[in-house]
């Protein structure tokens, strides 16, 4: 279990992180979101003791992280760093050795991990011969092959196509199922929403969202309505409590409600003749909430 309590860091007069607090239980995934410069990477570096904190504490299973604990951590920095003239195999063996793992422990696992992440190439290939996406997958393997108990991934989905992003998501979920604590940052709200148990959003170093994903969404009210019925755009706009109505190419509507209670009256009118193809009233998406909260500083 990772516990972060009132963690703060300033660089001169600039407050990079202000009183961040959270706990991640074993087998849980925390998503850290925010605009560039919000404090996400600073948070990771403070947890790993790459930076000295101004105040606060970081505890792993109730104690301060020690040298032995760092061998149970997997960290993928946003800035990738592989040795281009070294083979995949030697690269993975070297990084694992930095975590106290022997060649005898790691070498038998390399083929399995390369297959899991569908790396196109042989383990005897030099890294420079791989595509950018496959190089990224090799660095991910180097982060995970020693089976860490705490995994910190800084923008792991950056540059991955949808197929490879799905492979990574499956890998993160597998770590969770094995009991690891996972923290990752991402600008892709869909990935965050699908796999996170808990979410924190930073803005200018301050925590502006902190909670379970579904609870955060529900706290904004069920103001989004997706409808496919006989009602016209003009009829929908006439309902009290409707803010905007957008008709899509397929004829269905995306509706934003000022008052979520308006959904009930729309449902009654839309279904008065029986079956309709779609009525789905939801809270705003995580991406919409992100845009609102990120823009709040300018309001």
Query: Which tens digits make up the pLDDT trace of 24-82?
Result: 999 999 999 999 889 999 999 999 999 999 999 999 999 988 878 888 899 988 877 78
Task: Tell how far CA 23 is from the center of its chain.
Answer: 16
Cα separation, 184 vs 173, whole angstroms: 12
In this chain, the answer to whether the domains covering 2-218 and 221-282 adopt an identical fold is: no
Q: Answer whether 57's CB lies under 8 Å from 19's CB.
A: no
CATH classification of 2-218, choosing from 2.40.180.10, 3.40.1800.10, 1.20.1250.20, 3.40.50.300? Answer: 3.40.50.300
pTM of the entire predicted model: 0.84
Q: What is the CATH number of domain 221-282?
A: 3.30.70
Look at residue 298 and tell me whether its pLDDT is greater than 60: no
pLDDT value of position 297: 45
Give the list of residues 6+ apart from residue 214 with CB closer than 8 angstroms, or none. none
Task: Tell how far CA 9 is from the center of its chain.
Answer: 22
Percent of the chain scoring above 70 in pLDDT: 99
Q: Answer whether 175's CB lies under 8 Å from 105's CB.
A: no
What does pLDDT average to over the chain?
91
Cα separation, 22 vs 34, whole angstroms: 16
Dihedral (CA of 23, 21, 212, 44) sign: negative
Cα separation, 181 vs 82, whole angstroms: 25
Look at residue 83 and tell me whether its pLDDT is greater than 50: yes
Nearest C-alpha neighbor of 276 from the set 222, 243, 236, 242: 236
pLDDT per position as a tens digit, 121-137 = 899 999 899 988 888 88
In the chain, domain spans: 2-218, 221-282
Cα separation, 256 vs 293, whole angstroms: 17
């Amino acid at each position: 279990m990772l516990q972060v309590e009132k963690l703060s860091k300033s660089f001169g007069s600039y407050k990079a992180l202000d009183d961040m607090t959270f706990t991640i239980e074993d087998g849980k995934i925390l998503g850290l979101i925010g605009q560039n410069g919000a404090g996400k990477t600073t948070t990771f570096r403070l947890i790993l003791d790459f930076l000295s904190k101004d105040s606060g504490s970081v505890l792993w299973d109730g104690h301060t992280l020690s040298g032995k604990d760092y061998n149970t951590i997997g960290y993928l920095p946003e800035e990738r760093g592989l040795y281009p003239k070294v083979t995949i195999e030697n690269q993975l063996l070297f990084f694992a050795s930095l975590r106290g793992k022997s060649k005898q422990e790691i070498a038998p696992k390399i083929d399995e991990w390369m297959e899991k992440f569908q790396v196109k190439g042989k383990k005897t290939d030099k890294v420079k011969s791989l595509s950018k996406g496959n190089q990224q997958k090799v660095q991910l393997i180097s982060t995970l092959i020693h089976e860490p108990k705490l995994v910190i991934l800084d923008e792991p989905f950056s540059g991955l196509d949808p197929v490879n992003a799905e492979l990574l998501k499956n890998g993160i979920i597998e770590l969770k199922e094995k009991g690891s604590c996972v923290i990752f940052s991402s600008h892709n709200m869909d990935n965050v929403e699908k796999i996170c148990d808990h979410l924190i959003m930073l803005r200018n170093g301050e925590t502006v969202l902190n909670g379970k994903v579904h609870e955060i969404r529900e706290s904004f009210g069920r103001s989004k309505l997706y409808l496919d019925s006989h009602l016209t755009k003009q009829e929908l706009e006439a309902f009290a409590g409707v803010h905007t109505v957008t008709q899509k190419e397929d004829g269905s509507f995306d509706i934003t409600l000022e008052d979520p209670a308006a959904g009930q009256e729309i449902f009654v009118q839309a279904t008065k003749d029986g079956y309709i193809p779609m009525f789905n009233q939801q809270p705003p998406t995580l991406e919409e909430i992100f845009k609102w909260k990120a823009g709040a500083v300018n309001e």
